[in-house]
Amino acid sequence: AWKKISESTPLGRVAKPLEIAYAILFLASNISSYMTGSEIIVDGGFTAQ
pLDDT band at 40 (very low <50, low <70, confident <90, very high): very high
Element (H, E) at 22: helix 17-28
pLDDT band at 18 (very low <50, low <70, confident <90, very high): very high
Predicted TM-score (pTM) of the model is 0.73
Q: How far apart are CA 17 and CA 35, in angstroms?
A: 23
Q: How far apart are CA 6 and CA 28, in angstroms?
A: 28
pLDDT at position 21 is 97
pLDDT at position 38 is 87
pLDDT band at 25 (very low <50, low <70, confident <90, very high): very high
Residue 14 DSSP one-character state: P
CB 12 within 8 A of CB 46: no
